[in-house]
Structure 1
């Protein structure tokens, strides 16, 4: 009887949790497409979120047609749309043009001092994980005095480049809010492929708001980090937009403006 009960429990689990990262390799960052392609306006999703989540239970990215900010937290998919609200779509119903995930197995946990800002967190993690040539997956939980986020609105063809989209991005100033940050610190050598340095997204505990982080100040919290020493990337196939995009340009200035909201 007990064996049958356990089988029934397994069968009732959400399929995306079963398919997510149980067989994904540890210590591996998995990515689809490149950040420079996204900057250039390649917003067509060619990988389902369900397929993406087979490679990890923590991640960030965006959705087909640039329809909001993506978070994957504890194996669950969240979409923060341009209205700042959080949605929980089926992973099989949406595709992504750009995302990074990993099977999160933290190797270090530490308390974050009160008053820590985005810059302070960067310095703290750099101290805890000084090897800048490896990827770091990051998860931070706690209470935030302030949280400054943004999201991006769904685009229609012909797609404008990303720096034009974010020049008029909806921004959200939150205060006294508890929630979770997830994201990555990427090495400098992935310039053009991913975001060198820190790229973090936020969702509140009530799962009502969040987005791409522009800044914050913490009241209290805890960080977990996972060093990733392997990197796997897939590129869009049978996608004319990607095939016809000039990826030889240096888009560093565009990326800084997009990531930091300094358009």
Structure 2
């Protein structure tokens, strides 16, 4: 169960328009960082708020990718599996994706170069952006993490000691992600955050680095950000930043 908190990032003068540009988030990055991995919402509940996004699963079990209404779990074997609506998440962000702008990049870019190219075409860096990138990627470095057991260690310790890293070459697929403004850093990942899934659904993971050749970037500005706070004992007892 979650308690809903709506953060209006844009004047609510057109409710119907806001609904089409709303993001929904379960819990906070600060809670995840300190080891609050207890499932707070189901995938079925997430689907009521969006068809596109990312996150993780109960116990920090792998990486979540939501694309075109399908939700996938990528565990440490790197293979995506579709999950049912009863699966639970401690942290996730979704939107109903609707492309507003398209950026067609030219030539080979680093991850940093791609971020700079996207930044240049944004009207503002002070609103969240949902971002879909697709194409054939010359190189991607992605990761996943295994399910944790109680007492849960903090996220940084899990990543440092247990993450499984994969290097992918000339792989076709889609990057699903967000660009979050700095003032939301205690709620979500500041800056760019992507999860990858291959077009053949054989591999994927959390993006660490990559090379991008003629990638197609689609963006959607998110003007209403809704936050679902967990009604769980672990969240209630956590010391949050």
Q: TM-score, normalised by structure 1?
A: 0.83
Matched, 1:136 2:133: no
Q: CA deviation at 1:116?
A: 1.4
Aligned with 2:32 (options 35, 38, 59): 38
Structure 1: state its 5+ residue gaps. Answer: 1-23, 250-263
Aligned with 2:64 (options 61, 65, 70): 70
Q: Could you tell me how far apart the structure 1 residues matched to 2:65 and 2:179 are?
A: 15
SS of the equivalent of 1:109 reads: strand
| Aligned counterpart, 1:167 | 160
Mapped contact 1:25–1:103 kept (Cα < 8 A): no
Structure 2: state its 5+ residue gaps. Answer: 1-17
Matched, 1:225 2:201: no
- Off by >2 Å, runs of 4+ in structure 1: none
SS of the equivalent of 1:131 reads: coil
| Aligned counterpart, 2:105 | 112
Q: What are the Cα deviations for residues 62-102 of structure 1, in whole angstroms up to 9, with x where unaligned?
A: 00111100010011111110111111121x23000000000
Q: CA deviation at 1:125?
A: 1.1
Q: Name the structure where strand makes up a greater proportion of residues.
A: 2
- Structure ID, larger Rg: 1
Larger RCO, structure (CA 8 Å, separation 6 or more): 2
| Aligned counterpart, 2:7 | none
Q: Could you tell me how far apart the structure 2 residues matched to 1:28 and 1:118 are?
A: 27
SS of the equivalent of 2:173 reads: strand
Mapped contact 2:103–2:118 kept (Cα < 8 A): no
Q: Could you tell me how far apart the structure 2 residues matched to 1:154 and 1:113 are?
A: 39
Aligned with 1:208 (options 202, 214, 228): 202
Q: Could you tell me how far apart the structure 1 residues matched to 2:138 and 2:207 are?
A: 14
| Aligned counterpart, 1:59 | 53
SS of the equivalent of 1:127 reads: helix
Q: Could you tell me how far apart the structure 2 residues matched to 1:245 and 1:211 are?
A: 28
Aligned residue pair count: 223
Q: TM-score, normalised by structure 2?
A: 0.90
Q: CA deviation at 1:26?
A: 1.1
Q: Name the structure where helix makes up a greater proportion of residues.
A: 1
Q: Could you tell me how far apart the structure 2 residues matched to 1:190 and 1:109 are?
A: 25
